[in-house]
């Protein structure tokens, strides 16, 4: 049973990774009610220092960590780590907010985007686990929730343009190293990605499934059904692009009711989690690195009804995949958990 307190003991598993560092930063800047915070990683990273506000905290070894005094644990160290250590944490009474795919598709574990399905958080008590969705799903559903509420979405067709930070620090390093090699006319040998990512576009994220879609694309299908509406048809194409931080999505939706663009714009304007950047007269639209990077909102632009149908809408959606796509969404789940307890 999660107990409401004035402050909480927090553990960050994967604290030296790009999402772990972002969790530490956002917890501090949002003034999350923390009594004690423990950064945790593998034994090879134990002893390193990570920043939390003005403090430098020593990273602890997960193999030696005692979860018995922890209230909330954020896991962002990969599915294998979550599968091994989340059960240990929950058996100690910890509420786990898991940022990996380890538990997303379990029927008894809530998968939550706070702006979309906040009431599902209350289902955590069966397992003490709340799953954080895939980064691409999060920003898409934040943008589509107001439209679905008004006009009932029937079908989604989405193409994602995903930054290399979705692969962690190693993805960022590969893009930077390949760019340096290309500009200096040196040989490029792909390591993280199957083909060169610098100055290139790869229609491939994660791994291929038997149906010809990639796992990343199927995540958007499965998660939309679990979070928003199981009756919505979803087709996705996930593309890796040579951008450091910030995912972009081109989304076409078909609705059961005729769409009113002015109503959608009004709803977006009144939504604190969404910002519209959409002014064709001044060539103004959201871009991943210039608008999404380092920010906490979901940006929407290129809002236009289909030329051929009153029930089809096209939009362009941008967000920071490390923050709103991972760390921030996890912290918003924790904030909502405290609110409903």
Query: Is residue 230 very low, low, confident or very high in pLDDT (cuts 50, 70, 90)?
Result: very high
Asked if residue 283 and residue 182 are part of one domain, the reply reads yes
Asked if residue 89 and residue 38 are part of one domain, the reply reads yes
How does pLDDT run across 87-96, given as a tens digit for each residue?
Answer: 999 999 999 9
Mode of pairing for the β-strands spanning 60-61 and 34-41: parallel
Residue 280: DSSP 8-state: G
266 pLDDT more than 90: yes
Structural domain for 40, as ranges: 8-133+326-340
Asked if residue 288 and residue 140 are part of one domain, the reply reads yes
Asked if residue 273 and residue 330 are part of one domain, the reply reads no
Mean pLDDT (the chain) is 97
139 pLDDT more than 90: yes
Q: What pLDDT, on a 0 to 100 scale, did the predictor assign at position 75?
A: 98
Q: What pLDDT, on a 0 to 100 scale, did the predictor assign at position 261?
A: 97
341 pLDDT more than 90: no
Q: How many angstroms separate the CA atoms of 60 and 48, rounded?
A: 8
CA-to-CA dists, residue 21 to 33, 49, 73, 83, 121, angstroms: 18, 11, 14, 21, 24
CATH of the domain at 143: 3.30.360.10
Asked if residue 261 and residue 171 are part of one domain, the reply reads yes
CATH of the domain at 68: 3.40.50.720
- Whether residue 2 lies inside any domain: the answer is no
- Whether residue 20 lies inside any domain: the answer is yes
Domain count within the chain: 2
22 pLDDT more than 80: yes
**Max CA-CA distance within the chain?**
61
Q: Where do the H-state alpha helices sit in the chain?
A: 18-29, 79-91, 135-151, 169-183, 215-227, 261-269, 328-340
- What residues are annotated to the active site? 135, 247
Q: How many angstroms separate the CA atoms of 69 and 8, rounded?
A: 10
Query: Is residue 2 very low, low, confident or very high in pLDDT (cuts 50, 70, 90)?
Result: confident
Asked if residue 211 and residue 82 are part of one domain, the reply reads no
Asked if residue 332 and residue 242 are part of one domain, the reply reads no
**Torsion angles phi and psi, residue 238, rounded to 5:** -100, 130
Asked if residue 221 and residue 291 are part of one domain, the reply reads yes
Residues 98/75, Cβ–Cβ less than 8 Å: yes
Q: What pLDDT, on a 0 to 100 scale, did the predictor assign at position 3?
A: 87
Asked if residue 129 and residue 266 are part of one domain, the reply reads no
1 pLDDT more than 80: no
């Amino acid at each position: 049973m999660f107990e409401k307190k004035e402050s909480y003991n927090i553990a960050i598993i994967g604290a030296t990774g790009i999402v772990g560092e972002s969790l530490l930063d956002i917890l501090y800047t949002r003034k999350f009610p923390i009594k004690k915070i423990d950064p945790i990683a593998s034994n090879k990273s134990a002893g390193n220092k990570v920043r939390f506000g003005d403090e430098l905290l020593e990273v602890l070894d997960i193999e030696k960590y005692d979860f018995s005094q922890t209230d909330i644990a954020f896991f962002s160290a990969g599915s294998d780590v979550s599968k091994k250590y989340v059960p240990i944490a929950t058996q100690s009474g910890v509420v786990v907010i898991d940022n990996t795919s380890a538990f997303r598709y379990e029927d008894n574990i809530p998968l939550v985007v706070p702006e979309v399905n906040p009431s599902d958080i209350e289902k955590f008590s069966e397992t003490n686990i709340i799953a954080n969705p895939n980064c691409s799903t999060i920003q898409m559903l934040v943008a589509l929730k107001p439209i679905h509420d008004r006009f009932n979405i029937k079908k989604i067709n989405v193409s994602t343009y995903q930054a290399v930070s979705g692969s962690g620090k190693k993805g960022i390093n590969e893009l930077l190293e390949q760019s340096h090699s290309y500009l200096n006319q040196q040989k490029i040998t792909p390591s993280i990605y199957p083909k060169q990512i610098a100055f290139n576009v790869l229609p491939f994220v994660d791994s291929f499934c038997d149906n010809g879609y990639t796992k990343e694309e199927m995540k958007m299908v499965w998660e939309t059904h679990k979070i928003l509406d199981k009756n919505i048809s979803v087709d996705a194409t996930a593309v890796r692009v040579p951008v450091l931080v910030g995912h972009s999505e081109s989304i076409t939706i078909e609705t059961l009711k005729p769409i009113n663009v002015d109503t959608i714009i009004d709803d977006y304007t009144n939504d604190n989690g969404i910002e519209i950047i959409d002014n064709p007269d001044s060539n103004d639209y959201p871009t991943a690195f210039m608008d999404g990077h380092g920010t906490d909102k979901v940006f929407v632009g290129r809002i236009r009804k289909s030329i051929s149908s009153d029930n089809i809408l096209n939009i362009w959606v941008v967000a920071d995949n490390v923050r709103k796509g991972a760390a921030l969404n996890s912290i918003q789940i924790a904030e909502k958990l405290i609110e409903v307890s």
